[in-house]
Structure 1
Amino acid sequence: MTLSPLKPPPRPRPAALLDLSPDWLTWVADNRLWNCSPDSMRDSMVAAGLDPALSQAALDQIEHDPVFLAARRHQQMLRKLECVVANQQQLWENDAGYDVIEKRRGVSRDEFVERYVRGCRPVVLTDVAEDWPAMRRWSPADLRERFGHMEVDVQVGRDKDARFEQNKEQLRRRMKVAEFVDLVVNGGATNDHYLTANDEMLRRPEFLPLLQDIGSMPPICDPALLPNAASMWFGPGGTRTPLHHDTLMLFHTQILGRKRWRFVSPMQTPLLYNRMAVYSPIDLDAPDYARYPLLRQARVLEITLEPGDTLFLPLGWWHQVASLELSMSFSYTNIAADIPNDFDYQNPTIGNW
């Protein structure tokens, strides 16, 4: 049997590329994949102290590097996917009512599933909480009176950490409910302390009376699943939740105070620089278009939830939330078993890129 001759090994990378540090080599590849011009990149490299000839040679050579060429192929497939979702977004935006988040009453189950679950549209239901004892009872004073002696885990020190949500475990602090109520009531508007869903206090039997203050559910919810699918949010005006998306669908009922929600469609994920888990580094309240120029293309929707409003957050919608005053709210994910609400996301772990 005659063996085919082996292919020769690929040529080693040219010296110019090998002379770059790994960080600089990554920088060059990243910026070319972002389609930055070689001239501007060379100027940046020289300004940072690199040799001009080495910089130019590295920029010339990387265009023929086999590893970089493989990255270009994957880039083409990514760009196709970005086009697919951008085209779908264009069709969504063709709806004259796209910018308006509806407020509805009396929505049937069939319509809700078709228009909002499968249609992936946020909506506010104004009639869900009308019979809730919580709407008449819940207040800082009531929380203190009934549960003041119990302990909860809250986030404290958020103002000192720009990534307070990503680092929430490090900011966790256990305290008596009464102590936290006093902190909220007397501390004024701030983002520094917040009782969030991360505490999972409603999974504990001693807080069961709070669930007994919940009445009717939205048409696609199963009340029997509520004890393992509910969360409470309580904090002063000024608390913020940074731009992120959840990995399932949920409802959020405003009990006390008002919250402003801002949304971006999941189809516009490529515009939000999602480099770590489910978070975007963008602040929709103070957009930095110089650093994040693609954000200019994003369509931002907004609504303010009033007490008694129930928001449906469909799958994948990016949202940023701000409490306009002292706020209590209740979120829940007890969607009936015949509607899927368990989804997988391959989240990035790039970090500060």
Structure 2
Amino acid sequence: MYAPLPANWMQWMADNRLRECSTQSMLDTMVAAGLDRAACIQALSDLESNPVFLAARKHQQLTRKLESVLANQQKVWQSDPNYTVIERRKKVPVNEFWERYARGSRPVVLTGLAEGWPALREWTLPRLKDRFGHLPVEIQANRNADARFEENKALHRKTVRFGEFVEMVETGGATNDYYLTANNQLLRMPEFASLLDDIGPLPAYCDRARLKDLSYFWLGPAGTRTPLHHDTVMLLHTQVIGRKRWKLVSPLETPRLYNYNEMFSPVDADQPDLARFPDFAKVKVLETTLEPGETLFLPLGWWHQVAGLQASVSVSYSNLATDNIFEYRNPTITDW
């Protein structure tokens, strides 16, 4: 008889067998950690007939079926020779926008949407500083010290004067250490309401009346990074100042993105660690650079990673003239 292994090791064994790790590699790891070899051999053998583990295997079969459905549908999408090309379109007809891009789940860069917006003239850094420099704003700070800065964004909140932050952007060079992001709720503050007046005509597939509640202001230096994640709505993102590079991944690729926590992937789409995340090697990544005055339409669930190539100001908004509320049952696995 051998003493039972600690519960944490029993869970570790189940996790790794469900990932199809070999029992030999697992045994080597456990013995190297100081566990008794004979006890480990017995525990690994017993695991295969454990009724709880057998129940997990049944649910694993159901999950694998869903994964295969997604993978096959993605294969069909990728059979389009232009799959990786993100179109640039001007004045897309309303019906075509809904059918080809929203319901068809195709990203598109809209080159004429922001024509006539006062923001394209008024949102220079000096003018913004003159208008709002005395007001407090919430930014994310000290991001460089935290590899999971976006997942831990609540820990990086800092309030500064808007003018002070603009000066940081103007003089601090390229960095990801500070960023005024969508989480700031700036456009909901009465003191900044005039920014909404600078957003000019919107296409008929947007609901202007809901712009105040469903729009977000972004300002940051070159070097800002938004890690790979997906949103829970369809949205538009208009670049006003500077340029941003977007990398996009289909929602059907989700099983290959190691999405263990909420809406985030630990994979860096710029420099993926394929030894740690080998399934990402099969992922098709789309890429585009958004120029000033251009708008990206991001369909529902599309993963995206964004890099600021220059000091930039942009606005995102999800006030589409349709039901844009969806339910996601996100994982919250933080120990993998």
TM normalised by structure 1 equals 0.93
List aligned pairs for 1:95-244, cutoff 5 A: 95-244=80-229
1:346 paired residue number: 329
Distance across 1 between alignment mates of 2:225 and 2:266: 14
Distance across 2 between alignment mates of 1:199 and 1:268: 30
Distance across 2 between alignment mates of 1:115 and 1:213: 29
Unaligned regions of 5+ residues in structure 1, if any?
1-14
Q: Does 1:49 align with 2:34?
A: yes
1:9 paired residue number: none
Distance across 2 between alignment mates of 1:332 and 1:189: 26
Greater shift after overlay, 317-326 or 204-213? 204-213
Code of the aligned partner of 2:116: D
Distance across 2 between alignment mates of 1:340 and 1:226: 15
Distance across 1 between alignment mates of 2:113 and 2:201: 6
Equivalent position SS for 2:153: coil
1:77 paired residue number: 62
Code of the aligned partner of 1:44: T
Q: Does 1:335 align with 2:316?
A: no
Q: 1:60 aligns with which of 42, 45, 48?
A: 45
Code of the aligned partner of 1:53: A
**What's the offset of the Cα at 1:248?**
0.5
Distance across 1 between alignment mates of 2:9 and 2:153: 33
Code of the aligned partner of 1:49: G
The ranges of structure 1 where at least 4 consecutive aligned residues each deviate by more than 2 angstroms after the TM superposition are none
Q: Does 1:279 align with 2:291?
A: no
**Number of aligned pairs?**
336
Distance across 2 between alignment mates of 1:130 and 1:21: 64
Equivalent position SS for 2:154: coil
1:181-218: per-residue Cα shift (whole Å, max 9, x none)? 11111111100010011001101111111111111213
Contact 2:243 2:292 in 1 (8 A): yes
- Larger radius of gyration between Structure 1 and Structure 2: 1
Contact 1:261 1:320 in 2 (8 A): yes
Contact 1:103 1:126 in 2 (8 A): yes
Distance across 2 between alignment mates of 1:314 and 1:120: 5
Distance across 2 between alignment mates of 1:294 and 1:24: 25
Contact 1:108 1:219 in 2 (8 A): no
Distance across 2 between alignment mates of 1:29 and 1:60: 12
Distance across 1 between alignment mates of 2:66 and 2:156: 37
Contact 1:112 1:219 in 2 (8 A): no
1:8 paired residue number: none
Distance across 2 between alignment mates of 1:340 and 1:31: 41
Equivalent position SS for 1:347: coil
**What's the offset of the Cα at 1:109?**
0.7
1:114-142: per-residue Cα shift (whole Å, max 9, x none)? 00111111101000011111111211101
Superposed CA RMSD in Å reads: 1.0
Contact 1:151 1:174 in 2 (8 A): yes
Distance across 2 between alignment mates of 1:267 and 1:333: 22
Distance across 2 between alignment mates of 1:96 and 1:286: 25
1:195-243: per-residue Cα shift (whole Å, max 9, x none)? 0110011011111111111112134101111111111100100000011
Equivalent position SS for 2:97: helix
Contact 2:122 2:128 in 1 (8 A): no
2:78 paired residue number: 93
Greater shift after overlay, 198-207 or 216-225? 216-225
Contact 2:202 2:208 in 1 (8 A): yes
Distance across 2 between alignment mates of 1:286 and 1:243: 12
Code of the aligned partner of 2:90: R
Code of the aligned partner of 1:138: W
Q: Does 1:302 align with 2:321?
A: no
Distance across 2 between alignment mates of 1:165 and 1:41: 33
Distance across 1 between alignment mates of 2:212 and 2:292: 22
Equivalent position SS for 1:129: coil
**What's the offset of the Cα at 1:23?**
1.0
Distance across 2 between alignment mates of 1:304 and 1:195: 20
Code of the aligned partner of 1:94: S
2:16 paired residue number: 31
List aligned pairs for 1:2-17, cutoff 5 A: none
Distance across 1 between alignment mates of 2:335 and 2:125: 39
Equivalent position SS for 1:170: helix
Distance across 1 between alignment mates of 2:106 and 2:7: 44
